[in-house]
């Protein structure tokens, strides 16, 4: 968490985001900027599907992809669509604290029992499902993961600015992330 950069006042927004939809996103979320009207998406926002997070953004402002952990490993086609057809000007990847996809193996028993109890699966089927798929979706440390996804996507889409941000559940604000 020592890599987080608070955005507590407009002046905290990095100059490199001036006149970009990233600056607007930070203003909407952290400073309750009045909604502007948009006819087309300005950027793509990727974030976790976690129900505890919400963004204060206007209608039509952004394409949204919400997956467990904000994991985009299987979403490249959707990203390409937003870039090619949607003509977005940036991608923002938002990690958050206390993510269920971090340290996923610690909940294996709960996951398996939940599928048995709530979905009618048998124990072996649920265990195999977890063991086969959990390694694909485990993200480890939230900040390290969002930085690795940022690096991966910057290689794949070199002309598109890709910005990692962090959402703190305690205050519902977005923070910058210090990149090394």
**C-alpha to C-alpha distances, 33 to 21, 77, 104, 120, nearest whole angstrom:** 13, 32, 36, 46
Whether 66 and 88 map to the same domain: the answer is: yes
**Are 116 and 130 in a shared domain?**
yes
- 118: its two tokens: 């709530």
Are residue 57 and residue 119 in the same domain, yes or no? Answer: no
Task: Judge if 26 and 69 occupy the same domain.
Answer: yes
Supply the pLDDT for residue 123: 98
**Residue 41 in contact with residue 88, Cβ under 8 Å?**
yes
Does residue 128 share a domain with residue 64? no
Mean model confidence pLDDT for the chain: 97
Angle, helices 108-119 vs 123-137, to 10°: value is 130
Check whether 1 has a pLDDT greater than 80: no
* pLDDT, tens digit (0-9, with 9 covering 90-100), for 28-51: 999 999 999 999 999 999 999 999
pLDDT at 162 (0 to 100): 97
In percent, the amount of the chain with pLDDT more than 90 equals 98
Tens of pLDDT along 70-104?
999 999 999 999 999 999 999 999 999 999 999 99
Same domain, yes or no: 85 and 170: yes
Give the structural domain span for 110. Answer: 103-138
Of the chain, the percentage scoring pLDDT greater than 70 comes to 99
For the stretch 157-172, pLDDT in tens is 999 999 999 999 999 9
Same domain, 84 and 171: yes
Same domain, 46 and 58: yes
Domain count, the chain: 2
Q: What is residue 180's predicted lDDT score, i.e. its pLDDT?
A: 80
Do both 39 and 123 map to the same domain? no
Question: In this structure, what CATH number is given to the domain that contains residue 21?
Answer: 3.40.1050.10
Banded pLDDT at 2 (limits 50, 70, 90)? confident
- Beta strands of 52-103 (E only): which ranges? 62-67, 91-96
Domain match, 23 and 66 both = yes
Please give the average per-residue pLDDT across 53-74, as a whole number. Answer: 96
Which residues are within 8 A (CB) of 170 and not within 5 positions of it... i.e. 6 or more apart? 97
Q: What is the mean pLDDT of residues 118-128?
A: 98
Asked if 125 and 51 sit in the same domain, the reply is no
């Amino acid at each position: 968490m020592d890599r987080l950069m608070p955005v507590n006042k407009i002046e905290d927004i990095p100059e490199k985001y001036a006149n970009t939809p990233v600056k607007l996103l930070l203003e909407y979320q952290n400073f309750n900027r009045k909604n502007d009207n948009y006819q087309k998406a300005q950027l793509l926002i990727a974030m976790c599907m976690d129900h505890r997070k919400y963004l204060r953004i206007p209608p039509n402002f952004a394409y949204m992809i919400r997956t467990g952990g904000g994991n985009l490993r299987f979403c490249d086609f959707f990203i390409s669509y937003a870039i090619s057809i949607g003509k977005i000007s940036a991608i923002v990847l938002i990690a958050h604290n206390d993510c269920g996809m971090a340290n996923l193996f610690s909940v294996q028993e709960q996951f398996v029992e939940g599928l048995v109890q709530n979905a009618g699966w048998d124990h072996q089927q649920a265990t195999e499902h977890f063991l086969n798929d959990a390694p694909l979706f485990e993200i480890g440390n939230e900040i390290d993961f969002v930085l690795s996804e940022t690096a991966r996507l910057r290689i794949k889409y070199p002309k598109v600015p890709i910005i990692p941000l962090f959402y703190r559940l305690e205050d519902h604000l977005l923070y910058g992330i210090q990149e090394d």
